[in-house]
Amino acid sequence: MAQLTLALAKGRTAKESLRLMAKANITFPDFHEKSRKLVFYSEDQSIKMIYVKAVDVTTYVEQGAADIGIVGRDNILEAEADLYELLDLNLGKCRFVIASLKDLQIMKGKKIKVASKYPNVTKKYFSRNGLTAETIKLNGSVELAPIIGMADCILDIVETGNTIKENGLTILDDVEHISTRLVVNKASFATKTDQIQQLIRQLKAVLGGTE
């Protein structure tokens, strides 16, 4: 059987993703969190894993450089990539919200300044609500933007709610639930159907009826 290339998102969901695969008997013996290596092979050599930035996973998969990817729905929505999203791994759970300093009055016809790491998601949210928004792209510490008066509100991820709370912001709206997903390159799904379906079955079995 041909080998599958998997792009795994580095960062806060990597450990849990690897733990889930290990439960499904897919282990990467050479993988160590502190290793600087970027390519790892599963014990049975059936999977070649490339360890990449979360924001880049969909690019590797869409380009066909990886057959499959494990990445957060936040990055999938932002990338608007042409790929299949086939399984919810039920980890990395958080949500997209709109938050501002106080009860900001969002009015139709008034242009709102929104800071976000996710400009595409932001534009879509405001346009489907019939609102006009100017998006300011940031790469982190997004909660700062309303505090220093650079934006009226933010579209960002909330998990525990601590960051929002500690910076005196309030949630105005829930936008979308996020969790980590398995994505698949469309051509790979046609040519490596059996391997991909086998992997999905293995993962589903250990997700224990949560799918």
The DSSP code for 82 is S
Residue 56-85 contact track with ligand ATP, rule CB under 6 A, x = bound: ----------------x-xx----------
How many residues in the shown chain lie near ligand PRP by CB under 6 A?
Answer: 12
- Using CB under 6 A as the binding rule, whether residue 56 contacts ligand PRP is answered as no
Q: For 169, phi and psi rounded to 5 degrees? A: -100, 160
Amino acid at 110: K
Q: Which is nearer to ligand PRP, 114 or 142 (CB)?
A: 142
- Using CB under 6 A as the binding rule, whether residue 210 contacts ligand PRP is answered as no
Q: Which is nearer to ligand ATP, 92 or 195 (CB)?
A: 92
Q: Are strands 4-9 and 68-72 parallel, antiparallel or unpaired?
A: parallel
Q: Which listed option, ligand ATP, ligand PRP, none, makes contact with residue 156 (CB within 5 to 8 Å by class)? A: ligand PRP
- Using CB under 6 A as the binding rule, whether residue 146 contacts ligand ATP is answered as no
Neighbour-count burial for 150-165, b at 16+ CB within 10 Å, e otherwise: ebbbbbbbbeeeebbe
List 82, 127, 161, 187, residue binding ligand PRP (CB under 6 A): 161
Concatenating the DSSP letter of every residue in 119-177 gives HHHHHHHHHHTT--EEEEE-SS-TTHHHHTTS-SEEEEEESSSHHHHHTT-EEEEEEEE
Q: Which residues bind ligand ATP (CB under 6 A)?
A: 9, 11-13, 54-55, 72, 74-75, 92, 94, 157, 159, 178
